[in-house]
Amino acid sequence: KVDSPDLRDPESRYHGFNKAGFINPGVHTIWINVDSPESRDGSSRTNNTEIQAINKVLELLKSSEGFKEYMEHWDGIKSESKRKEEKEIGVISCYGKQVRKIRESVRPRARQLGLQIKMNTVDKFQGMERNIVIVSTVRSNKLDRGNDRIEVNRDAGFAKSPERLNVALSRARRLLIVVGNKDFFSGIRDKEGNYLYRNAIREIERSGKVIDFKQLSK
């Protein structure tokens, strides 16, 4: 039932995408590992390499076997708003400045690819879902101070309170793609010393897929 290839089944997580080294129809969660530094932007944070990774993910999705058929399926929906919702790819982040940078870089690329995307902060995406959601986590164990100064970062910021990220990770109906620093998030603990994301990451490793962006971008 969960993997029923009938896209009309509201309980099915099926998408049907297949591309060697990236995805197959049985994969519903992917972690794209990006270990580049984060940057400060006022009180917000950004991560330019994650934006590059999102553009690459969109290109790979568009060129995946089954993607064209998947998108064409929704053309049969009479309601324009419902049809748009089913086709849109959600792209979200906890940081407003990262969302702004995503708008500047990812939206033009999506247009070139003929893709519809819905971008917003995690807080504003609350209550919404999309079939495919890409989450930019931003945070890293390295901080870019500018002028080629990279320093160690141990501050997890919002990630020490997992509620927002848990919201982000539950917005996808069929395919969730997390872009972020896997080792950094694996090591984040709460005040009691409990690992906050290690189990979720291990589940993605076990039943989904972890791909290093450096390999993906070759």
**pLDDT by residue (tens digit) across 155-208?**
888 888 778 788 888 899 999 999 999 999 999 998 888 899 999 999 999 999
What's the mean pLDDT in 143-147?
89
Compute CA 152 distance to the chain's CA centroid, rounded to the nearest angstrom. Answer: 24
Distances (CA, A) of 110 to 82, 115, 199: 20, 5, 32
Tell me how far apart the alpha carbons of residues 128 and 180 are, in angstroms, rounded to a whole number: 22
pTM, full prediction: 0.96
Q: Give the model confidence (pLDDT) of 9-55 as tens digits.
A: 878 899 999 999 999 999 999 999 999 999 999 889 999 999 999 99
Both tokens assigned to 97:
């400045």
Q: For residue 185, what are the contacts with CB-CB under 8 A and spacing of at least 6?
A: 137, 139, 159, 197, 201
Please name which of 62, 187, 67 lies closest in space to residue 113, comparing C-alpha atoms: 62
Angle value at C-alpha 94, between 110 and 199, nearest 5 degrees: 105
Under 8 Å between Cβ of 57 and 32: yes
Alpha helix ranges (H) inside the chain: 48-62, 67-73, 80-87, 96-113, 122-125, 163-168, 182-186, 198-207, 213-216
Rounded to an integer, the average pLDDT of 118-129 is 92
Q: Rounded to an integer, what distance in angstroms lies between the CA atom of residue 121 and that of residue 89?
A: 14
Average pLDDT of the chain is 93
Q: Which two tokens stand for residue 39?
A: 């940057």
Q: What separation in angstroms does the CA of 132 have from each of 64, 65, 76, 145?
A: 14, 16, 19, 34
pLDDT for 48-101, tens place per residue? 999 999 999 999 999 999 999 999 999 999 999 999 999 999 999 999 999 999
